[in-house]
Amino acid sequence: MGAEFGAGAEAPFVLAVPSKGRLQEAAAEFFAHAGLELVQGRGARDYRGAIAGVAGVEVAYVSSTEIVGQLAAGQAHFGVAGEDLVREKVPDVEARLELLSPLGFGHANVVVATPRAWIDVRTMADLDDVASAYRARRGERMRVATKYVNLTRRFFAEHGVADYRIVESLGATEGAPASGLAELIVDITTTGTTLAANALKPLDDGVILRSQATLIASLTALWSSNARRAARDILARIAASEEAARSREIRARLPSPAHLAVEAAYERFGAVSATGEDVDPHGFVALHCARGKVAELAGWLLEKGAERVSVAALEQTFDARNALYEALEERIGPDGA
Amino acid sequence: MNLTVDAQSQSNIVSQAPRSAGERALDHFLAAGFERTEPPILHPAAIFLDMSGEEVRRRLFLTADAAGEELCLRPEYTIPVCRAYLASDKAGRVAEYSYLGPVFRARADQGGEQTQTGLESFGRTDAEAADAEVFALGLEAAMAAGGGALAARVGDARLFEAVLESLEISAPWRRRLRRGVARGRGLDAIFSRPSQGALAQPGVLAALESADHTGAKALVEDLLAIAGIETVGGRSAGEIADRFLEQASLRSGEPIETEKRAVLDAFLSISGDPDQAAIELRRLADSARLDLGAALDAFEMRTGFIAARGPKIEDIRFSAAFVRDFDYYTGFVFEAHDPAAPRAKTALAGGRYDGLARRLGSADDIPAVGAAITLDRLVSGGER
């Protein structure tokens, strides 16, 4: 695949996305919504792809754990992964990665859960006390089954819980207390039904992380001019659809001139002119406004003398300022080439 | 520099090669009869995780053997020396060892290898004399290694236990106090418990409030039994019921009587040189009618041995609140650091750990006391 880029051409920008399951579908849907159609290679077993209409981008379909590894090692520029995996697998996240944008899917909490029969344990402080009593009585430490070794260690240390041992669990963690492999668990949960089915309960203050799928940039990848161009393009489209989803366009005609009304609409409702600074001398206004403020703004325009106010949904809204890319460039530095 | 060196002076150079700081400290231990030992570098990681908790894992250099057992490079010497002693034919008898070599701890800013030297004394029944000797040898060796005099702080876990015993503090509160004090928390923090009143079953609690403890416990155990619960997550229904009731009783009552708390407060605030502290301890024991007899006699005897061994008593600072959060430390504890840098890391640390042998598989406790010097934390005064 690499041979398609000639010897003199710049290395491609690599976007790593999940290779299977619901996460793959949700990620593809998210990008499609931003006008970025992921095109998988011809065979079903081809784990390379491209984005239709964006040059110099290679899409890599890999497992979630591998995505995190590739981002940390700088082998991929962008990737989609759960924040739980990122915080667990990458030491010193802030120095290596930039978490660009939460994607609104793949929600799950990493929680501390104990047997429901422990009616005397509701908080981490209770757990601390019970763990030290357990050790005093048995001379052994309470065992915590989890695949989140690092998250667990950090969270327990923050709460001063020291008398425990981690038992690494690579699957069916929630069954560990029942089968006698551990006394409690740290695991991911979405609805809590799996915990309940195993007679476990999360502690009141035992939420370690509220995680969701996140678009992540690698700070250690090689940021060539080509890679920057691709990143800027992708982020402009994502920002355009995110901004569009948040806003509505409102049109009306006021008794002329309209520039004072536009300023007032900004101050009162945070609305901005749909096409920038230019204001029509005949009183025509087109504004973009947050969804929640639309009805209020419409009422206000009618008060100001508009006869009719129309509201329309937006597909995409491109801005000269690319805030997502600017945030990234601040971390990777300006293009030296 | 003169490069022409004849054979004669060359051999002189070799024989008079300056001893390193660590070797000078070791020489001091050897001269006192502590035989040098070099225990293995690789150990089962579980031993250190069991002793020190999961927190030390991030400091361990981990590896595994062919069978998949998790091993680590030794992060310190005491446990390796104690394991070697227990495996030897001297186990249970008097044996005194010294060591010098690398220990391995992952640290963010420095390399993972540090040189430690130290000594361990096993099996001596003259505990106070052994305590004093190990303490004095540690301070002297630190000086011999080229450091300036260190500022020493001492504590005594046995005194603390005697106070708790004498006040008839309940077992759960004894444990919480021991642990809270070791972590530097004050009594206010230890006795204020955030989960107070946060229990979920107000109906059950109201029904229990009038019942006596035995009846209440039986009721809670029955409730758990009805739910099909005997032992869950390693805790028996009885244990759960006990703590549930204890927590419930905290909703209305004080965790400890005011007078007892005042005595604890007075005890924990005692600090000063060991002679002065002993006077204050006797005064407190008299006024509060505490039975500290044997523990206090041992404390004073040890102070006497230390004075006879050299260190100036008025330069040592005793603090009643200085205890370690390791249950195998059973008596005298000490640490020392560069007095010019009050926030400097501990360069010399040690204490009596009679409980360690049993934790490592011995059938009985074995008297043991030791000290370790981390060489790169010594004052470099003597080398200048």
Domains B15-143+341-384 and B151-185+257-337 share a fold: yes
Query: Any long-range contacts for B200-205 (C-beta under 8 Å, 24+ apart)?
Result: B200/A119, B200/A122, B201/A119, B205/B248, B205/B251
**A165 part of contact set with chain B, CB < 8 Å:** yes
Q: Which CATH class is domain A108-209?
A: alpha beta
- Choose the closest CB to A119 out of B50, B240, B327: B240
Distance between start and end Cα atoms, chain A: 25
* Domain A2-106+213-222 annotated CATH 3.40.50.2000: no
CB < 8 Å to B244, chain A = 119-120
Q: State whether the Cα torsion B4-B6-B7-B12 is positive or negative.
A: negative
Token pair recorded at residue A265: 């609409």
| Other beta carbons within 10 Å of B172 | 17
ipTM greater than 0.85, yes or no? no
Question: Can you identify the CATH homologous superfamily of domain B15-143+341-384?
Answer: Bira Bifunctional Protein; Domain 2 (3.30.930.10)
Is the sign of the CA dihedral A20, A23, A26, A28 positive or negative?
negative
CA distance A219 to chain B (A): 21
* B204-221: burial string, b at 16+ Cβ within 10 Å, e else: bbeebeeeeeeebbebbb
Structural domain boundaries in chain A: 2-106+213-222, 108-209, 246-313
The model's pLDDT over B31-73, given as tens digits with 9 standing for 90+, comes to 999 999 999 999 999 899 888 888 888 889 999 998 888 999 9
Q: Is there a common fold for A2-106+213-222 and A246-313?
A: no
Q: Hey, are the CB atoms on B200 and A184 less than 8 Å from each other?
A: no
**Residues of B with CB below 8 A from A135's CB?**
327
Q: A119, B244: Cβ pair inside 8 Å?
A: yes
Residue of B nearest to A156 (CA): B55
Contact B288, B162 (CB under 8 A): no
Domain ranges within chain B, ordered by starting residue? 15-143+341-384, 151-185+257-337, 202-252
**Cβ–Cβ of B49/A165 closer than 8 Å?**
yes
- pLDDT tens for the 337 residues of chain A, in order: 444 444 334 678 999 999 988 889 999 999 999 999 998 877 666 688 899 988 889 999 999 999 999 999 999 999 999 999 999 999 889 999 999 999 999 999 999 999 988 888 989 989 999 998 998 888 788 999 999 999 999 999 899 898 899 999 988 899 999 888 999 999 999 888 999 999 899 999 999 999 999 999 999 999 998 999 999 999 999 999 888 888 999 999 888 767 778 888 889 998 988 887 666 677 888 999 999 999 999 999 999 889 999 999 998 888 888 888 998 999 998 887 5
Please report residues of B whose CB lies closer than 8 A to that of A127: none
Q: Which CATH number does the domain A246-313 belong to among 3.30.70.250, 3.40.190.80, 3.30.70.1140, 3.40.605.10?
A: 3.30.70.250
* CATH-assigned architecture of domain B151-185+257-337: 2-Layer Sandwich (3.30)
Q: What ranges in A145-293 are assigned the alpha helix state H?
A: 149-158, 193-197, 225-246, 259-269
